[in-house]
Structure 1
Amino acid sequence: MNPHRSMAVDTDDFEVRLGDDGIAEVVLGTAGAMPTTGARGHAELARLWTRLADEPGVRCVLVRSIGKGFCAGGHVDLVDEMLHSATARTRVMREARQIVQGMIDCDRPIVSAIHGAAVGAGAAVALLADVSVAAQGAKIIDGHTRIGVAAGDHAALVWPLLCGIAKAKYHLLTCAPLSGAEAERIGLVSLAVPDDELQATARRIAGQLAAGSPSALAHTKRSLNHWLRAAWPAFEHSLALEMIGFAGADAREGLAALAGKRDPRFGTAEDA
């Protein structure tokens, strides 16, 4: 067993384990439950990537879950706060920007191990990783438009680059889910493996990266991520439109329909 120590975080949504092998594990959720991000968890996630980049001894970051899925995104209480508070929307927008920018700018390579559902902020963290490893049976969904808001927390930035504009439009407009196997086929994730091989494969890749040249890996990541920086205006625009959407009638209807397990009845196109 690899000895580790914990990094203090002000949330129960995830924990951070710092291993002697240079791998920092961001462990989402609790056993048997679906991980989500509440207000404190979202704020801690926004600060996390800079902290890990500055943490002595960290050479690679592995994001995984011990819950029954990878992460279902924002907790219902956080989403409800965004519906009713402009202050909350501004805060969440700032934190969402910090999560994306933090993962892009973190000089340590980031590996994600995706099992079960990865939705919303969960999908953002999963797909912004430098190497994303999905179980073949994983379920990746960007469900923003189904709840009446723009796909804004990462999708406009990375999906077109990963899988092409046609596939990005199809999945982001329809909210059609992708299995891990299909996500690999279209290029949305780096690798898909049998479900029972996920954790071992992701850890093997993380170990390989942790043993590599820190400067070579950091410089390669920084260079490649200029593709994402070039698309930054699209991300900023989509994020702002998502937050505007949370103030509107369609978001209230979309979330009521989700809670009631029914199809939403949105307004007309003239409302856009």
Structure 2
Amino acid sequence: MPGNHPRPDDSDGIRISLHEGVATLTLVNPRRKNAITNAMWGELALAFRWAGADDDVRVLVITGEGDEFCSGADLSDAPDVHWLDHLNYINEGCLALHAMACPTIARVDGIAAGAGMNLALGCDLVIASDRARFCEIFSRRGLSIDYGGSWLLPQRVGLHKAKELALLAPMLDAAEAERIGLVNKMVPADELDAAVAAWAVQLAAGPPIALAQTKALLDRAASTTLPEAVAAEAAAQTVNFGTADTAEALRAFVQKREPKYTGR
């Protein structure tokens, strides 16, 4: 419910804006290529919970300050608790991102490495500039993959390719990331903002309930059977036919105009 998760205040590490249904979350640690500090992990979780609960948020865009997306965890910022407790704290944000009903877009410029790469892949759509770079850098740091990467990568690129990316940790340019399906769209750097805005505006103008249900159906596809899937589709479509938005869509079609969705 809106109000259960108030909008977080801007901090040294996270900045949030909301305009006409499009929420933008910016990672702010440019001196370390927007690496995520211990404080920022908790701030991300709060921001994702707010965006997922606020009806005014129709779409969330995640980006980084300046010319970089996110270089992963700031490993110079050691936790003062047991590592397992710290990683469970980190994972709260990962789970909150994936629990969001509204569409999410990663706007990737520059580096997206480690948890930063998996933060991008955790979004529903990824738009990258032609100077973006992607790396599951964990093995180069003596670490195993995290922030949902072990679940995300096989779904995006298949098991064997996922093992290549995670075990060998190659640096991928944007063109290769697009070719193998990690990126939805690659554009010149000076066109990145326009490309992200075009998709964000289209999603923000769409029917929130129907989009949320479509997203949920697709997210469950890998763990469901076809009979279960079509039954879930029927249940979702029944909900849609009871909404004001579907009635508005039908009126707009007859009247040859664009529909105005309210999420009711």
TM range (shorter): 0.7 to 0.9
User: Rg bigger for which structure?
Assistant: 2
Aligned match of 2:179 in 182, 185, 189? 185
Query: Residue in 2 aligned with 1:46?
Result: 45
| Distance (Å, rounded) in 1 between the aligned partners of 2:121 and 2:86 | 19
Normalised by the length of structure 1, the TM-score is 0.75
2:113 pairs, out of 116, 119, 128, with 119
- Tell me by how many angstroms 1:69 deviates: 0.7
Correspondence for 1:200 among 194, 208, 220: 194
CA distance in 2, matches of 1:73, 1:195: 21
- The one-letter amino acid paired with 1:132 is V
Higher RCO (Cα < 8 Å, 6 or more apart) = 1
C-alpha separation in 2, matches of 1:124 and 1:163: 13
- Secondary structure at the counterpart of residue 63 of structure 1: strand
Task: Provide the TM-score with structure 2 as the length reference.
Answer: 0.77
Residue of structure 2 aligned with 1:158, choices 152, 157, 170: 152
Matched, 1:132 2:126: yes
Provide closer, same or farther for how the CA distance between residues 228 and 140 of structure 1 changes in structure 2, counting only shifts above 3 A. Answer: farther
Displacement of 1:64: 1.5
Match of 1:262 in 2: none
CA drift of 1:100 comes to 2.3
- Does structure 1 conserve the Cα–Cα contact (< 8 Å) formed by 2:14 and 2:43? no
Q: 1:201-234 deviations in whole A, cap 9, x for unaligned? A: 011101100000001110011111124678xxxx
**Following TM superposition, by how much is the alpha carbon of 1:33 offset from its aligned partner in structure 2, in angstroms?**
6.0
Distance in structure 2 (CA, Å) of the matches to 1:150 and 1:16: 31
Kept in 2, the 8 Å contact 1:7–1:15? The answer is: no
CA distance, structure 1, for counterparts of residue 216 and residue 29 of structure 2 = 33
Cα shift at 1:177: 0.9
Following the alignment from structure 2 to structure 1, what is the Cα–Cα distance between the partners of residues 35 and 9?
15
Query: Which one-letter code corresponds to 2:46 in the other structure?
Result: R
Contact 2:52 2:101 in 1 (8 A): yes
Q: Does 1:18 align with 2:18?
A: yes
Aligned residues: CA RMSD: 2.1
Q: Are 1:211 and 2:205 an aligned pair? A: yes
Query: How has the CA–CA distance of structure 1 residues 64 and 152 changed in structure 2, closer, same or farther, with 3 Å as cutoff?
Result: closer
User: How many residues get paired?
Assistant: 219
Cα deviation, residue 113, structure 1: 0.6
Change (3 A) 1:215 1:155: same
Structure 2: 5+ residue runs without aligned partners?
A: 1-5, 225-264
